[in-house]
Amino acid sequence: MKNKRAESLEDAVNIVVDGATVLIGGFGPPGVPEILIDGVCDNKIKDLTIVTNNAGTDRSGVARLMDEGCVSKLVCTFPWAKESFIFKELYDAGKLQLEIVPQGTLAERMRTAGAGLGGFLTPTAVGTDLAEGKQIHKVDGKDYVLELPLRGDVALIKAHKADKRGNLIFNKSARNFNPIMAMAADQTVVEVSEEVQIHELDPEVIITPSVFVDTYFVTGHYEVGKGSKQV
Amino acid sequence: MKNKRAESLEDAVNIVVDGATVLIGGFGPPGVPEILIDGVCDNKIKDLTIVTNNAGTDRSGVARLMDEGCVSKLVCTFPWAKESFIFKELYDAGKLQLEIVPQGTLAERMRTAGAGLGGFLTPTAVGTDLAEGKQIHKVDGKDYVLELPLRGDVALIKAHKADKRGNLIFNKSARNFNPIMAMAADQTVVEVSEEVQIHELDPEVIITPSVFVDTYFVTGHYEVGKGSKQV
Amino acid sequence: MIDNKNLLTREQIAACVAKDLEDGWLVNLGIGMPTLIPSYIPSHCDIMFHSENGVVGMGPPPLPGEEELDLISAGKGLVTLIPGGAYVNHIDSFAIARGGRLDCAVLGAFQVAANGDLCNWRLPHQKSGSVGGAMDIAAGAKRVYVMMTHTTREGDPKIIAERTYPLTAGGVVSKIYTDMAIVSVETNELVLEAVAPGVTPDDVQSATGAHLNIEKVQEIQLNL
Amino acid sequence: MIDNKNLLTREQIAACVAKDLEDGWLVNLGIGMPTLIPSYIPSHCDIMFHSENGVVGMGPPPLPGEEELDLISAGKGLVTLIPGGAYVNHIDSFAIARGGRLDCAVLGAFQVAANGDLCNWRLPHQKSGSVGGAMDIAAGAKRVYVMMTHTTREGDPKIIAERTYPLTAGGVVSKIYTDMAIVSVETNELVLEAVAPGVTPDDVQSATGAHLNIEKVQEIQLNL
């Protein structure tokens, strides 16, 4: 059986290279792979396109990644929030490109990529600025926007437990985008709080089957929002 | 809290009326709501369009439904199988319309309906008879078939356990289409082997949240493929 | 200009909305004012709250000492899960939202037009906005109720004949709850259903940028 | 016409395919002959089998007394789940199939054309066929291997220059394992990789409806 466990943070994240498109899990602080992000920061990676829901919280996670100059473009749903002050600073200074995507559409575009589909029609954003330049299709008399797949070179996600094959379960609302992103990248790297033996995860309750996981790194439990060594 | 438990089989299935489109769970015998189907047979319902993977196994489940003259059209993926002899008899006699849909496309068309989307682009069936008359879209130089949502008036599904709110878990490969169909119909009726108290299902392991369930009927455990009273 | 003391408080508006949510509904609450609503749901009334970050059956904030940092609302406050609630991923959460399973979404707004157009994600002078799940939820919910102040801080009407702000979803709003009134969006007109005590239909009309049908107006009953 | 006793058995063909499946692969096996493959995977080789009805990590048939009627393969035989396997619904199962996560699918076929076109779901004279998951899996797998007899019962070639049967998926087959030979589908030609003991390249060519490049042909090593 292939050993997917990375023995060091460096080994876990060295697949993330300059210019990559990186999907990063989380909604608010829960489910953000803060330690993996620290690893990318440590590697001084540049020009990343980051796809994630929020524009960072305080100074850890995605906020740190932007703060350290690793990011050139952010694709997200909700950038303007008090806790995303680092994003605001960089955006206002013209140092960051921004693409806003409706949240359901963001999730669905990644799933579409992961499921090998070519696009989907959604009623979301019809008639709005966020549908500009996109094809509109009428189905049964109703307008839909054609949205295209969004694939990552790498997905960095966070899970609660991994078994030794790489099957994953998540914790409460920290599940969010993580299982979707696991499907939607060429390489999926997971930070897990805990590693367990294969028989310890019931096959009925596995959320992400091992086939979507390339590498996992065991971080232990830490307080959400405090992963960054900078805090 | 709304009581979704049907106290009789008749109460459970009386939402299925003549001419309805009914999604029926199962792949092979596992996951087929045989008892609910018996209830529909008992009601002598006519002209149903049935959407399900197989064309019935032996004489129970969907096979019984066809045998009793309840079905005018079958939408499925794999009709020609030894165990589907009742289907063959009726089809050869010109008593049944048939629509073949690739299995992944069948699942995805139902999910699309359940997710409020208008369609999706799939590489499946490009260039084949099953794409005839359908729009082809090119995305990134590759051809995709535009497939449209498939919605049921009613979904009849089978689950392992329901809690009193209607949350569901399934058993092994009896999961198959059931959670998808639960999302894709105006009314979802579930037969469950077992009813449990609310706190007995861990919220992390619920496969179908209660919001997708309208009615459940507790059947107890019975041997798969032997639900029909006709056997 | 009406006397500010006659304006409803945020809590009073929340109570008005709560009264209109029906037993058995699944409801999504937007960030801000709508999060006040759950406190005003009578205990015999079974309403489930959906939070688009994957919580079906969101409960109130945790008691001290019972906080779970991994369990938050869409507004990022710590919450709980009710018995019989479930966790889902973002795909299933938005399948619920777009797929017509939300009986109601209660959202804040910058503007609502007479045709039900909802504007709540970006102000016209902003280069960009924070859309979050608003467009999906507004497009998919069976009913969209808006909860907002009747006018901007500058006193400009937020209910208007035709929207001037960037659109969130077209023609979706069916009811508007403000600090002055409850307004229903009907096919061809806006109907003033009720006014706050001490506020007259004329007060509301003059703070509104579209014609209101005031024929059946009642006074809001406050039990607070 | 070659001597039938030189044709490989179904088990021998399965062993040939098994030898080419690589450690760590996720593989989907079609109904019929491909289901013989798992017996020939060496035990040190970690290959996971995907069954499109929602089984990731399908194991061998159960021991007597351990049958679970709710656990079947796509071919509807009773199976088991390996340690570390997982159950998924049909959506996620086909996301795996179409999304490029299958390193290989081994399918039966009626015809394979020189360009890799696969025909395996309906015979031309049939009013309809049983497509199952074949079109999705063939369109989505990283590699499609075909396992079949080299000719029809009537002796007609099944490997042909251009397909005459209804298409399952265009240009997807990369390797063909038959009772006579192993044929590789390259960009511009079919390459005869190996022949069964006692079968000559000429035998294979004359049972094949398309030109074969026989320059590098070897003999199949049977360890059975």
With tokens 């050139």, the residue in question is A72
Q: In what order do the strands lie in the sheet with A142-147?
A: A136-139, A142-147, A119-122, B119-122, B142-147, B136-139
> Quick one: pLDDT at residue B128?
98
Residue D130 lies in a domain: yes
Q: What percent of chain D has pLDDT over 70?
A: 99
Separation of alpha carbons D47 and D81, rounded Å: 13
Separation of alpha carbons D183 and D195, rounded Å: 9
**Count of A-D CB contacts under 8 Å:** 57
Query: Topology of domain B9-101+150-218, per CATH?
Result: Glutaconate Coenzyme A-transferase (3.40.1080)
* pLDDT-derived band at D207, boundaries 50, 70, 90: very high
Using one digit for the tens of pLDDT, what is the confidence trace for A180-217?
A: 999 999 999 999 999 999 999 999 999 999 999 999 99
> Quick one: pLDDT at residue C104?
98
Averaged pLDDT, A29-48: 97
> Quick one: pLDDT at residue C224?
54
Using one digit for the tens of pLDDT, what is the confidence trace for B134-153?
A: 999 999 999 999 999 999 99
Q: What range does the domain containing C90 cover?
A: 4-219
Q: Which one-letter amino acid corresponds to residue B189?
A: V
Cβ <8 Å between A211 and D98 = no
pLDDT over threshold 70, residue B231 = no
With tokens 């061809």, the residue in question is C188
Q: For residue C2, give the nearest of C213, C189, C201 by alpha carbon.
A: C201
Which of C23, C84, C139 faces B198 most closely, judged by CB atoms?
C84
Classified as helix, coil or strand, B106 is helix
Residue C55 lies in a domain: yes
Classified as helix, coil or strand, D162 is coil
Residue D224 lies in a domain: no
What is the ipTM score, two decimals? 0.97
* pLDDT-derived band at B230, boundaries 50, 70, 90: very low
Residue A17 tokens, joined: 């290279």
Other beta carbons less than 10 A from residue D73's beta carbon: 20
* pLDDT-derived band at D113, boundaries 50, 70, 90: very high
> Quick one: pLDDT at residue A59?
93
Q: For residue D39, give the nearest of D62, D79, D11, D63 by alpha carbon.
A: D11
Mean pLDDT of chain C: 96
Cβ <8 Å between A169 and B108 = no
Sign of CA dihedral D92, D94, D100, D104: positive
Closest Cα in chain A, distance from residue B65 (Å): 30
Cβ <8 Å between A204 and D87 = yes
Residue D108 lies in a domain: yes
* pLDDT-derived band at D89, boundaries 50, 70, 90: very high
Q: For residue D126, give the nearest of B49, B86, B102, B79 by alpha carbon.
A: B79
Residue C214 lies in a domain: yes
Residue C25 tokens, joined: 């509904």
Whether chain D has a CB inside 8 Å of the CB on B177: the answer is yes
> Quick one: pLDDT at residue B198?
95
Separation of alpha carbons C54 and B211, rounded Å: 13
Mean pLDDT of chain A: 96
Whether chain B has a CB inside 8 Å of the CB on D167: the answer is yes
* pLDDT-derived band at B108, boundaries 50, 70, 90: very high
* pLDDT-derived band at D223, boundaries 50, 70, 90: confident
Element containing residue B111 per DSSP (H, E): helix B103-114
A44, burial (CB in 10 Å: exposed 0-12, middle 13-18, buried 19+): exposed
Q: Which one-letter amino acid corresponds to residue D191?
A: V
Catalytic residues of D: 52
> Which chains lie within 8 Å of chain A at 3 or more CB pairs, if any?
B, C, D
Active site residue: C22, C52, C66, C189, which one?
C52
Using one digit for the tens of pLDDT, what is the confidence trace for A113-154?
A: 999 999 999 999 999 999 999 999 999 999 999 999 999 999
- With contact defined as beta carbons under 8 Å apart, do C175 and C20 qualify? yes
Element containing residue A144 per DSSP (H, E): strand A142-147
Averaged pLDDT, D163-186: 98
Cβ <8 Å between A139 and B116 = no
List chain C residues with pLDDT less than 70.
1-2, 224
Scan residues 191-220 of A and list those with Cβ closer than 8 Å to D: 198-199, 203-204, 206, 209-212
Cβ <8 Å between B100 and D169 = no
C-alpha distances in Å from residue D69, one per residue of B55, B58, B201? 19, 15, 23
Separation of alpha carbons D40 and D19, rounded Å: 8
> Quick one: pLDDT at residue C1?
59
* pLDDT-derived band at D224, boundaries 50, 70, 90: low
Kindly compute the dihedral angle of the four CA atoms of residues A69, A73, A77, A79, in this order, to the nearest 10 degrees. Answer: 40
Give residue C8's Cα distance to chain centre: 15
For chain B, the structural domain boundaries read 9-101+150-218
User: What is the DSSP code (8-state) at residue C146?
Assistant: E
Separation of alpha carbons A221 and A229, rounded Å: 15
Which chain D positions have a beta carbon within 8 Å of A204's beta carbon?
A: 87
Q: For residue A24, give the nearest of A66, A45, A4, A53 by alpha carbon.
A: A53
Q: Residue D52's domain is classified under what CATH number?
A: 3.40.1080.10
Separation of alpha carbons B228 and B38, rounded Å: 6
Other beta carbons less than 10 A from residue C218's beta carbon: 10
Residue C224 lies in a domain: no
Other beta carbons less than 10 A from residue A198's beta carbon: 17
pLDDT over threshold 70, residue A219 = yes
Separation of alpha carbons B17 and B33, rounded Å: 17
Which chain D positions have a beta carbon within 8 Å of B100's beta carbon?
A: 128-131
HSE of A66 in the Cβ direction (CA atoms, 13 Å)?
A: 33
Separation of alpha carbons C55 and B28, rounded Å: 33
Sign of CA dihedral D4, D9, D15, D20: positive
